[in-house]
Amino acid sequence: MNDLTLPPKVSEIINGSVEWSRIEKIDYESLGYFLSCHLVIEHYLDEYLKIEHPALDWDSARQTFGQKVSLLSKFKISDKYDCIPAIKHMNSIRNKLSHRIDFSVQKEDLLPLIQYLEKTSDGQLETPITIKEILGRFTSMVCVLFAGYISSKAHYGKVDRR
């Protein structure tokens, strides 16, 4: 089956009549890439939180992404590399993608991520840059920050999970 169309959605109901509209122009590749970036960042948040709060039963806690981000008060390397506001913004976009059928990510939606990348690269972000490049660079940068912290804790023997 090559047809990737979805059923129509209810557009309006007027005087007992239902008007339907097609769901078109969904960029499944971009949507999947965005959600994958979000999941990778969440993986690193999970690992960081397990190190910072080892007594908690994280598997049973089942916290939302927003709740996890709110627990990141100790994670601040410097103002230049403070990624938490941009992570929060990325999550707000993910929420829109999850709850609005017709929402698609535009470059201007990623402005806080772009500003973060510019700040961390001393304003030398090459242009033009695509949405996927913004997401990929931001995800890599955030994960590198968390990976460094996780690695340093493991290296100095403060973490041992077998």
Residue 21 placed within a domain = no
Residue 134 placed within a domain = yes
Report the pLDDT value the prediction gives residue 1, as an integer from 0 to 100.
46
Report the pLDDT value the prediction gives residue 86, as an integer from 0 to 100.
95
Residue 20 Rama label (left phi>0; alpha psi -120 to 50; beta): beta
**Half-sphere exposure for 59 (CA within 13 Å, toward CB):** 0
> Residue 136: which domain range?
27-155
Q: Residue 13: in which H helix or E strand, if any?
A: strand 9-14
Residue 15 placed within a domain = no
Residue 59 placed within a domain = yes
- pTM of the predicted model as reported, rounded to 2 decimal places: 0.85
Q: What angle do CA 14, 17, 23 make, to 5 degrees?
A: 90
- Tokens (6 digits) for 46: 């999970």
Ordered per-residue pLDDT tens for the chain, 162 residues = 456 678 888 989 999 999 998 888 888 888 999 999 999 999 999 999 988 888 888 778 888 999 999 888 777 778 888 999 999 999 999 999 989 888 889 999 999 999 999 999 887 777 778 999 999 999 999 999 999 988 988 777 655 555
Residue 161 placed within a domain = no
